Structure 1
Amino acid sequence: MNVFVLTGAGISAESGLGTFRDPGGLWRRFDPMRLATPEAFAREPEEVHAFYNLRRHGVRQAEPNAAHAALVRLESGLAARGGRLFLCTQNVDDLHERAGARAVTHMHGELMRARCTACGESRPWAEELGLGTACPACGRRGGMRPDVVWFGEMPFHLEAIAEALDAADLFVAIGTSGAVYPAAGFVARARGAGIPTREVNLAPSDTAGLFDDARYGPATRAVPEAVDEILREAGAGP
């Protein structure tokens, strides 16, 4: 059984990382057009760096929760039966990896990586970034940025994502708002291909009507329950 799982900010909320569009979410408190675009970085790099340094600090302080751990169990359980989990996340945190996930596709990039706008070098980066940060590869200062996808930029790995989605036996969206494209369109693509679809979320998403079934509740409860169900369906669990 091949399962495609898409995760969004809701899976990390109980780890203390803010969601984006919910009441009190990051984009209710910060203007994304001032902080999350290439134009913003060109215009106000120090302010953009301050925002992402704050977020990077938050990720370092956060710990994976039971929902992240459940997906690790799903990954190993499917593999033991000759199946595969394709874990695609909209999140820029590293909690899936720290929980033990072996393969994670970050379509919106990774906050704990930095990329040089001059030479394109990308590498792991847990410390602060600023105008004085030199690229380890080319030595240029002022061009290092978070290796994340900003508004107006193309998400990463779209070809691999499309191939994995088309090959899936089940599509599951976890903790997503259903408001951000192209990820919000994955459920329609899956339905068009005849792939069963399932939503696991705190509350119905913007695309809830497109899912075949749903499980609602806090991620630390709903995701482990959903994983148990999938493993039973795959013959890989109790």
Structure 2
Amino acid sequence: MALAAKPNPAHLALAQWERWQEQRGRAFTLVTQNVDTLHEQAGSRALIKVHGSLDRARCTKRGCENGAPRGSVPLASVDFGPFHAFPSPRTVPRCPRCNKRMRPHIPWFDEFYAEHQDYGIQRVEERAKRSRLVLFIGTSFSVGVTDRVSTLALLREAKVLSIDPSGTSRVPGIEVIPERAEELLPRWIQALTESP
């Protein structure tokens, strides 16, 4: 179901903002906790997916070419036919390299961001340390990466904003904007791109 979803106006606005920044020679990095492909569909390229991606799978054997810390394969290349016909541990898709079980390319609750290089935690921290503006969208700040990024950005005295329609995400030093991202971001980007 997540892979069938379509980008909303906020996804499209973020991709437009990225292009606007690039045209001016400015850095832009979009860090997402979402595991869908909506940002890619919207056109975002400077993207770090800290929670992996549902459009990829990987081997459960660490060190396998298709497993952590570096490997994964497109989900479309994995044959789920036998599993869908007869779901059981025996029919879970197998790695074409080592025959171990395949798994979603996302971190499970007992894993760390450093488990796989695709999660990009080092790049996220580097960007946070250099950012002048950090914008959080739709997060409750209950995940380690949001705490880490906000801490690093605030130490650097960057401007840190949070778009939160409920207005309840109160973190010291972070300015909350109580609006919906899919309504606010297109307005912001339109104003930004229309200014001289």
| TM-score interval for Structure 1 and Structure 2 normalised by the shorter chain | 0.7 to 0.9
For residue 163 of structure 1, what is the aligned residue in structure 2? 126
For residue 116 of structure 2, what is the aligned residue in structure 1? none
Contact 1:200 1:226 in 2 (8 A): no
Q: 1:122 aligns with which of 55, 72, 78?
A: 72
Name stretches of at least 5 consecutive residues in structure 2 with no aligned partner.
84-88, 114-118
For residue 215 of structure 1, what is the aligned residue in structure 2? 177
Q: How far does the alpha carbon of each residue in 1:111-130 deviate from its partner, in whole angstroms, 9 at most, with x for none?
A: 11101012214111146754
Change (3 A) 1:199 1:226: farther
Report SS of the residue matched to 1:68: helix
Contact 1:67 1:220 in 2 (8 A): yes
Change (3 A) 1:95 1:192: same
Q: Give the superposition deviation at 1:160.
A: 0.9
For residue 154 of structure 1, what is the aligned residue in structure 2? 112
Contact 1:88 1:105 in 2 (8 A): yes
Report SS of the residue matched to 2:166: coil
For residue 13 of structure 2, what is the aligned residue in structure 1? 70
Q: Give the superposition deviation at 1:184.
A: 2.6
Q: Percent identity between the aligned chains?
A: 32
Q: Distance in 1 between the 2:36 and 2:168 partners?
A: 21
For residue 98 of structure 1, what is the aligned residue in structure 2? 41
Contact 2:132 2:158 in 1 (8 A): yes
User: Given the alignment of the two structures, is residue 227 of structure 1 paired with residue 189 of structure 2, yes or no?
Assistant: yes
Contact 2:170 2:176 in 1 (8 A): no
Change (3 A) 1:174 1:70: same
Contact 2:54 2:106 in 1 (8 A): yes
Change (3 A) 1:194 1:204: same
Greater RCO structure (CA 8 Å; 6+ sep): 1
Q: 2:152 aligns with which of 170, 176, 189?
A: 189
Name stretches of at least 5 consecutive residues in structure 1 with no aligned partner.
1-57
Report SS of the residue matched to 1:210: coil
Report SS of the residue matched to 2:45: coil
* Larger CA deviation: 178-187 vs 190-199: 178-187
Report SS of the residue matched to 1:85: coil
Contact 1:191 1:197 in 2 (8 A): yes
Contact 2:7 2:38 in 1 (8 A): yes
Change (3 A) 1:84 1:59: same
Q: 2:30 aligns with which of 60, 65, 87?
A: 87
Q: Give the superposition deviation at 1:223.
A: 2.1
What does residue range 35-50 of structure 1 map to in structure 2 within 5 Å? none
Q: Distance in 2 between the 1:218 and 1:83 partners?
A: 26
Q: Distance in 2 between the 1:72 and 1:181 partners?
A: 25
Change (3 A) 1:152 1:182: same
Q: Distance in 2 between the 1:170 and 1:205 partners?
A: 21
Counterpart amino acid of 2:107? V
Q: How far does the alpha carbon of each residue in 1:62-82 deviate from its partner, in whole angstroms, 9 at most, with x for none?
A: 101100000011000001111
